[in-house]
Amino acid sequence: MSAVTSSLQASASLPRWYNPAALLGSFSLALASMTLSGFEDEAGNLNLAAVIVIGYLLYMAITFVVSRAVEGRRKSVDRMVTGLVTAAFTLAVIPLLSLTYTVVSNGLARLDATFFSNSMRNVVGEGGGALHAIVGTLELTGIATLISVPIGIMTAIYLVEYGRGRLAKLVTFFVDVMTGIPSIVAGLFAFTLFLVVLGPANAINGLAGAVSLSVLMVPVVIRATEEMLKIVPNELREAAYALGVPKWLTIIKVVIPTALAGIATGVIIAIARVIGETAPLLLAAGFTASMNYNPLSDKMMTLPVFVFTSFANQGVDTQAYIDRSWAGALTLMIIVMVLNLIARIISRVFSPKG
Amino acid sequence: MAATESKKSVTRLGDRIFSRTATFAGASILLTLAAVAFFLFLQAWPALLPDADFGGKADDGPLAYVAPFVFGTLYGSVIALAIATPLAVGIALYISHYAPRRFSQALGYVVDLLAAIPSVVYGLWGILVLAPFLTPSYQWLNENLGWIPFFEGQVSATGRTMLTVAIVLSIMILPIMAALIREVFLQTPKLHEEAALALGATRWEMIRMAVLPFGRPGIISAMMLGLGRALGETMAVAMVLSPASVISFALLTSQNPNTIAANIALQFPESGGDYRSMLVGTGLMLFLITMAINMVARYIISRRAEFSGAN
């Protein structure tokens, strides 16, 4: 190598097989050194994690030195960042895989017909199901969506298309504040609201739960919709105005359809966020072992609360309660996935190509 | 946009109805927030009166009762955010600019799905899988780095520590942060990226020059979203943490400051009278803390160049 390697001249680059070879080498070296030093006796499960960490550090160090010598400073930095970014992704995927595996493998034990056809009324120990909780979750989330989506989308339209002056600034600011509302505060709010309106005897019911979910859902819908409306090119609006289309029709016929895919994603993120909310429903909708179709009176069970109470209030036959808890968790995740799938399909069908 | 708003279009009936509806929806946000503060204050008020009776659960008064919870809430969330932010940016970059084109959409879909995992499931996983897995590393940290105040003290045997909670919280806020940041990264103008590459920039230099400046407001709003979720996260903390009424920076012991939200969830269903009022009061406090943090974050964003893809 010549001493003068300006970035333009340094066209030399490492061969394609370098990366797999370096990775393989680093990890086998790490494994070998850990085995030789007898480190694996300390703690069985930590060992593998330690090998991965050491192997990764080795790979990064070797690559930095080699790449710097062959390819120059800029490309070696580029390789370092690639290594870091890939590691970040891998690191995040590991717990998420572990979580999915745990929920599926533990949840399957009780994912049977009884689970979907029975409530927990008069059930002690084995048996029983979560039908009351599933019905509750679907009803409450449905009501919350019906409340939140119109308000959310109209507010976003106000902010992006109409909002001028003081009120718009205030609303933008407080939507942000509302995004940060802790779920438990939303639950406390719904509880205290219904306590004042209906009195202590009837304060805890399904509608209160739905109201608390809406408080959490509205800002998510607004921000997602707002972001999407903002990136609709102004040229589209101006073209519609130039054709004499009124503003409100421009919004409905041009702006919203252009952003629809993004808005659908936003609404799904909002639903996904609230369908698993436990704390507000624990306070506002309460928990019960019995069926209740009526969101206007009496406590209403929901799936997340079912998962929590099954785990927290284990009866004599501990395993039966834990199994039900996992099965509830698995059901919840399946519902969320189906919702996501439906939204993907809808957004794909309705969004304009481009 | 203001220039295109001709006087004629405003006078149409459809326009008038539509704009009024939109304005009303916007105003309803302000009304809701005012209602939250009002109703919480209404219920919390009795706890602030001098003759409040907490049934022996808070003999030193409301302030001494709430202080450890405020500390625990902020401490856990800040650690979680410190862990999650670099990871979230890394994941977003990986999906938007590093992963092979064919896979990137599928990877994004996976992250979207994971954002939907309910907190109560994270709680189950945290206590049954993560805590036992981390306990040996805690032992190691305590033996070798015990002189750092964070790692001192008697290591918890169950792994139900502040650090476990912070890690669970960071995993929980990660998907939402990553999804948001990725969306913004993907909106980086292609021409900016291609211009950088055409000038001979490496991939990282292109990202530093074109993607990160464009995505910075997105990163900050993702952090806000993450912090908001971490501060108010209830069930995962309530299930994983082994709480005590202390103020302590130690991360690995079983004497951890509880968070406001987890404390409410654990105490509220069984509470009554003035003690319940005080719990509502701590909820009001949590509301005010998140509000203050959001205001600071908002200020930071407004100081930087305003971002809008419409420009």
B309 touches chain A (CB under 8 A): yes
Q: What is the mean pLDDT of chain B?
A: 83
Q: Do B87 and A175 touch (CB under 8 A)?
A: no
Q: Between β-strands B256-257 and B243-244, what pairing exists: parallel, antiparallel or unpaired?
A: parallel
Dist CA A45 CA B295 (whole Å):
44
Dist CA B131 CA B87 (whole Å):
21
Find the CB nearest B112 among A189, A277, A340: A340
Three-class SS state of A127: coil
Question: Average pLDDT for residues B3-10, to the nearest whole number?
Answer: 49
Q: Do A185 and B269 touch (CB under 8 A)?
A: no
A168 touches chain B (CB under 8 A): yes
- Burial class of residue A350 in the structure, from the number of CB atoms within 10 Å of its CB (0-12 exposed, 13-18 middle, 19+ buried): exposed
User: Across the strands, what pairs with B256?
Assistant: B243
- Burial class of residue A354 in the structure, from the number of CB atoms within 10 Å of its CB (0-12 exposed, 13-18 middle, 19+ buried): exposed
Per-residue confidence (pLDDT) for residue A193, from 0 to 100 = 93
Confidence at A136, pLDDT banded by 50, 70, 90: very high
Q: Do A171 and B5 touch (CB under 8 A)?
A: no
A 254-283 near B (Cβ less than 8 A): 265, 268-269, 272-273, 275-279, 282-283
Three-class SS state of B161: coil
Q: How many CB atoms lie within 10 A of CB B183?
A: 22
Listed in order, strand segments (DSSP E) in chain A are: none
Dist CA A18 CA A224 (whole Å):
42
- A231 to chain B, minimum CA–CA distance in Å? 4
Task: Tally C-beta pairs within 8 A across A and B.
Answer: 318
Q: Do A102 and B30 touch (CB under 8 A)?
A: no
Chain B residues touching A82 at Cβ < 8 A: 98, 203-204
| Closest alpha carbon to A139 in A195, A188, A209 | A209
Confidence at A2, pLDDT banded by 50, 70, 90: very low
B136 touches chain A (CB under 8 A): yes
Which helix H or strand E contains B294, and what residues bound it?
helix B273-303
Amino acid of residue B37: A
Listed in order, strand segments (DSSP E) in chain B are: 243-244, 256-257
Helix/strand/coil (H/E/C) assignment for every residue in A12-62: CCCCCCHHHHHHHHHHHHHHHHHHHCCHHHCCHHHHHHHHHHHHHHHHHHH
Question: Average pLDDT for residues A223-251, to the nearest whole number?
Answer: 90
- Mind giving me the DSSP string for B16-64? HHHHHHHHHHHHHHHHHHHHHHHHHHHHHHHHHSTT---TTS-TTHHHH
Residue to mutate among A247, A314, A321, with most B CBs inside 10 A, is A247
Give every CB contact of residue A283 below 8 A, 6+ residues apart in sequence: A184, A187, A188, A190, A191, A204, A212, B264, B265, B268, B269
- CATH fold of B62-306 reads MetI-like fold (1.10.3720)
Return the ∠ at Cα A207 (arms to A204 and A209), rounded to 5°. Answer: 65
C-alpha gyration radius of chain B: 24
Number of H helices, E strands in chain A: 14, 0
A 186-245 near B (Cβ less than 8 A): 186, 188-189, 192-193, 195-196, 215, 218-219, 222-223, 227, 230-234, 237-238, 241
Q: Do B228 and A238 touch (CB under 8 A)?
A: no
pLDDT at A349 > cutoff 80: no
Dist CA A268 CA A280 (whole Å):
19
Q: For chain B, what are the domain ranges?
A: 17-46, 62-306
CA distances A212 to A184, B35, B242, B266, Å, are: 9, 12, 28, 18
Confidence at A47, pLDDT banded by 50, 70, 90: low
Q: Do A251 and B18 touch (CB under 8 A)?
A: yes
Question: Average pLDDT for residues A193-200, to the nearest whole number?
Answer: 88
Per-residue confidence (pLDDT) for residue A40, from 0 to 100 = 53
Q: Do A155 and B12 touch (CB under 8 A)?
A: no
Residue range A240-272, pLDDT digits in tens? 999 999 999 999 999 998 888 888 878 887 887
Q: Do B125 and A89 touch (CB under 8 A)?
A: no
Residue range B71-83, pLDDT digits in tens? 999 999 999 999 9
Q: Do A167 and B27 touch (CB under 8 A)?
A: yes
| Closest alpha carbon to A291 in A304, A302, A279 | A302
B 219-238 near A (Cβ less than 8 A): 221, 224-225, 227-228, 231-235, 238
pLDDT at A208 > cutoff 90: yes
Residue to mutate among B38, B128, B202, B229, with most A CBs inside 10 A, is B202
Give every CB contact of residue B116 below 8 A, 6+ residues apart in sequence: A269, A272, A273, A275, A276, A333, A336, A337, A340
Q: How is residue B251 annotated by DSSP? A: S
Confidence at A215, pLDDT banded by 50, 70, 90: very high
Q: Do B116 and A279 touch (CB under 8 A)?
A: no
Residue range A283-318, pLDDT digits in tens? 998 888 888 888 888 889 999 999 999 888 887 788
Residue pair B193/B155 in contact (Cβ under 8 Å)? The answer is no
Find the CB nearest A154 among B2, B22, B295: B22
Highest-confidence segment of A120-124, B57-61, B125-129: B125-129
Chain B residues touching A151 at Cβ < 8 A: 25, 28
Chain A residues touching B109 at Cβ < 8 A: 344
Dist CA B230 CA B218 (whole Å):
18
Q: Do B87 and A43 touch (CB under 8 A)?
A: no
Residue to mutate among B38, B95, B124, with most A CBs inside 10 A, is B124
- B145 to chain A, minimum CA–CA distance in Å? 17
B300 touches chain A (CB under 8 A): no
Chain B residues touching A85 at Cβ < 8 A: 90, 93-94, 98
Q: How many CB atoms lie within 10 A of CB A18?
A: 15
